[in-house]
Amino acid sequence: MFGKTSLLILIGFISIFSVYQLRLTRAVISATDSFNYYYSKTLVHETAVSAMNIGASKVWKDTLTNATFNVVMNNCTATVRIYPVVPDSLVRLSVKAWGYAFVDTYYARYKKPYKIEDSAFAYFIYSSGPNTPASRYFWLTGTEFYNGAPVYWITGDTVWGPVHTNGVLHTYGSPVFYDKVTAYAGINPQPTSNRNKAKFYGGWEVGIQAEIPVDMTRTKTAAVNGGGVFNNPVYLKFLSNGKVVKRDIVGWTVETIGSGRYLRQRRVPQLSPPDTVANISSLSSTGVIWVKNEVVVEGTLNGQLTILADGNIRIWDDLKYADDPNVNPNSDDFLGLVSYKNVIIADSDPNQNDVVIQAAIMAYDGGSNDKSFIAENWDKRPPSGTIYLTGGIVQEERGPVGQFSGGSGIIQNGFNKRYRYDPRFRDKAPPYYPLVSFPGIRQLRLVSWWE
């Protein structure tokens, strides 16, 4: 009796372990199938993305607009097709990639490996003429010298956005750059030396030149067509309700202010009465005004406007958007300040303790006279807080906004800087903002990418 019981128990254990072994085998097969599938799927996707990059390189480097070719890698194949959507303008690049995975259950049923596919596409815009608004550049200078003396980035200066100069970029202490810094003529001190304490979180590179010849014709034409041409100097104060106060400037008064080492003179505009309050759109139907003289500007802009001035543009007080892009990245307020002379932070009463500026700024005349974004009395005014700028600055000669002690690195006159790029400018710009022209060079811009 005992022998039969033992035999039955043994048979039971054998049955249990056989079922367990079968299930374990199936689990192992299933896990192997899953690994093979996802591993192969990853290879196919990487092949598709690599083929897209190869195709994009051919579109950019070889200016291909109509071609089909295969890319083989990772034991996978991708077919790349490039074809024009709009002749000499819009190009579509599509990729279809495939590979095979050995899935045991699938093979057992169909007697062939499992086929995995992936696809991607992108659209590019070609242009053979000027099509890039200068507002797309965050910081660009021809030189970082002012009147023969270097202008420094110093401790306390913080910059969000790419910085470029065709001259030498100078640092003192530990300014912070969150995006890439490039300089054609070098960085002083050298970033590899122990003397340079700057924080280049986005990296740096020297030997790169980016000349920007700017065509103002389109901007001027828009002002003329929109009825926005003014011969006399103009004062503008933007209101958050979408209106603007406009007054003519009938003259300037030179005032002496401060005392001791801060004794200095400043220019104050004399305004004609009365205030003229109107909608922003009434200045110009195209959103561009051309003032053939000087401009004084301040306030909160609710709308879109580009100001082109033959004379200086003076920022009298905070100049910001009603819908702050730092809070709402979908803000549709845009302001462009373009001067053939200088864009100046005035030594006004409101600008003695910080100033907020939200705009795309350009000081450029395309000639031999260097133009700058600069603070009035930068070397005589007392410490005036910080410039909080959101937008971009293009200037021929970098203008100083303050002066620091060579011993301590602390601001003795003027402003510290907190400069932040407005990321909306990557795709959008103030109305008819001046275009960068690269004669003879075909430009390419990515419109969309899907994978």
pLDDT at 10: 54
Q: Which of 127, 146, 179 is the last residue of a domain?
A: 127
pLDDT at 110: 83
With respect to residue 435, please indicate whether it lies within any of the assigned structural domains: yes
pLDDT tens by residue, the chain, 451 residues: 455 666 555 555 555 555 445 454 454 455 666 777 888 888 889 999 999 889 888 887 777 778 999 999 888 999 999 988 766 568 888 999 998 887 777 877 888 888 889 998 888 876 655 567 888 888 989 899 998 899 999 998 999 988 989 899 999 999 999 999 999 999 999 999 999 999 999 999 998 877 666 778 899 999 999 999 999 999 999 999 999 999 999 999 999 999 999 999 999 999 998 888 999 999 999 999 999 999 999 999 999 999 999 999 999 999 999 999 999 999 999 999 999 999 999 999 999 999 999 999 999 876 666 689 999 999 999 999 999 999 999 999 999 999 988 777 788 999 999 999 999 998 899 999 988 765 554 566 677 788 7
Q: Do 81 and 216 reside in the same domain of the chain? A: no
Q: Do 80 and 162 reside in the same domain of the chain? A: no
Q: How far apart are CA 254 and CA 260, in angstroms?
A: 18
With respect to residue 451, please indicate whether it lies within any of the assigned structural domains: no
Strand 114-127 relative to strand 90-101, pairing: antiparallel
Q: Do 52 and 139 reside in the same domain of the chain? A: no
pLDDT at 41: 87
Q: Do 180 and 287 reside in the same domain of the chain? A: yes
With respect to residue 449, please indicate whether it lies within any of the assigned structural domains: no
With respect to residue 274, please indicate whether it lies within any of the assigned structural domains: yes
Q: Do 229 and 315 reside in the same domain of the chain? A: yes
With respect to residue 319, please indicate whether it lies within any of the assigned structural domains: yes
Q: Do 91 and 162 reside in the same domain of the chain? A: no
Q: Do 326 and 410 reside in the same domain of the chain? A: yes
With respect to residue 30, please indicate whether it lies within any of the assigned structural domains: yes
Q: Do 288 and 354 reside in the same domain of the chain? A: yes
pLDDT at 27: 47
Q: Which two tokens stand for residue 13?
A: 């254990």
pLDDT at 28: 47
pLDDT at 274: 84
Q: CA dist 113 to 172, 198, 218, Å?
A: 63, 56, 60
Q: Which of 84, 105, 127 is the last residue of a domain?
A: 127
Domain range for 392:
132-440
User: What is the reported pTM?
Assistant: 0.72
Number of domains the chain contains = 2
With respect to residue 98, please indicate whether it lies within any of the assigned structural domains: yes
Q: Which of 127, 157, 191 is the last residue of a domain?
A: 127
Q: Do 373 and 239 reside in the same domain of the chain? A: yes
Q: Do 317 and 243 reside in the same domain of the chain? A: yes
Q: Do 120 and 238 reside in the same domain of the chain? A: no
With respect to residue 446, please indicate whether it lies within any of the assigned structural domains: no
Q: Do 233 and 321 reside in the same domain of the chain? A: yes
3-state helix/strand/coil string of the chain: CHHHHHHHHHHHHHHHHHHHHHHHHHHHHHHHHHHHHHHHHHHHHHHHHHHHHHHHHHHHHCCCCCEEEEEEECCEEEEEEEEEEECCCEEEEEEEEEEEECCHHHHHHHCCCEEEEEEEEEEEEEECCCCEEHHHCCEEEEECEECCEECEEECCCEEECCEEECCCEEEECCCEECCCEEECCCEECCCCCCCCCCEECCCEEECCCCCCCEECHHHHHHHHHCCCEECCCEEEEECCCCEEEEEEEEEEEEEEECCHHHCEEEEEEEECCCCEEEEHHHCCCCCEEEECCCEEEEEEECCEEEEEECCCEEEEEEEEECCCCCCCCCCCCEEEEEECCCEEECCCCHHHCCEEEEEEEEECCCCCCCCCEEECCCCCCCEEEEEEEEEEEEEEECCCCEEECCCCCCEEEEEEEEEEECHHHHCCCCCCCCEECCCCCCEEEEEEEEC
pLDDT at 35: 73
pLDDT at 57: 84
pLDDT at 362: 94
